Structure 1
Amino acid sequence: MFILITFAATTAQGETCLSPPRPFLPAGEAEMIEFAEIIRQDFEYYINDIQAYFRCLDEERARAFEEARQVSQDYGRFQAVIKAN
């Protein structure tokens, strides 16, 4: 008797969501005034990047949830086959 078992490897992998670095804010007021435009841009970039980071986390959570649902169904099918034999 020959039994062939096939395992389907999933290629779907989660996305790595990287949190943006926190913008630097000098301690001294003179430096804040002198570099105001650069600091403002750094904060604006951070705000845009952190919003993208939150979207990435939301998308990854949804993807992982769907994957877990599918794995749970696969496990249920596996258990049914084992129980029937």
Structure 2
Amino acid sequence: MKQTWAVVVVLSWGSAAIAGTCLPPAPPWMPTDADDVRAYADLLKRDAEAYFADVENYFRCLDQQRREVFEQAREVSEGYARAIDLLRGHR
């Protein structure tokens, strides 16, 4: 029983290590009135370009997190298989 608890503790501890750190960017305000578009054209352009750059960074972050979690899942799977083998050997 102690071995089973040790395996559960070790396997569940790792889940706390991964937290979502990728935050999606807030979309910029886009006016629908033609006068507002003309009045704020430079600001709208800067905001849109910054937003698209932030979206690109967000997707890169998600891709990196996916790779990290995939690797962690592989390691946990291998560790779990070893733990199961150990438990089967002690029955």
Q: Same fold (TM over 0.5)?
A: yes
* TM-score under structure 2 length normalisation: 0.80
Q: Does 1:84 align with 2:89?
A: yes
Q: Does 1:73 align with 2:54?
A: no
Structure of greater relative contact order (alpha carbons < 8 Å, 6+ residues apart): 2
State whether residues 14 and 64 of structure 1, in contact with CA within 8 Å, keep that contact through their aligned partners in structure 2. no
Spell out structure 1 runs of 4+ moving beyond 6 A: none
Q: Does 1:41 align with 2:46?
A: yes
Question: Would you tell me which structure has more helix in proportion to its own residues?
Answer: 2
Cα drift, residue 67 of structure 1: 0.5
Count of residues paired in the alignment? 82
| Superposition pairs of residues 1-85 of structure 1, within 5 angstroms | 8=10, 9-10=13-14, 12-85=17-90
* TM-score under structure 1 length normalisation: 0.85
Cα drift, residue 27 of structure 1: 1.1
SS of residue paired to 2:66: helix
- Structure 1: stretches of 5+ with no match in the other structure: none
Kindly report the root-mean-square deviation, in angstroms, between the aligned alpha carbons of the 2 structures.
1.8
**1:41-85 deviation digits (Å, cap 9, x = unpaired):** 100110110000000000000000000001001100110000000
Percent of pairs identical after alignment?
33
Which letter does structure 2 place at the counterpart of 1:84?
Answer: G
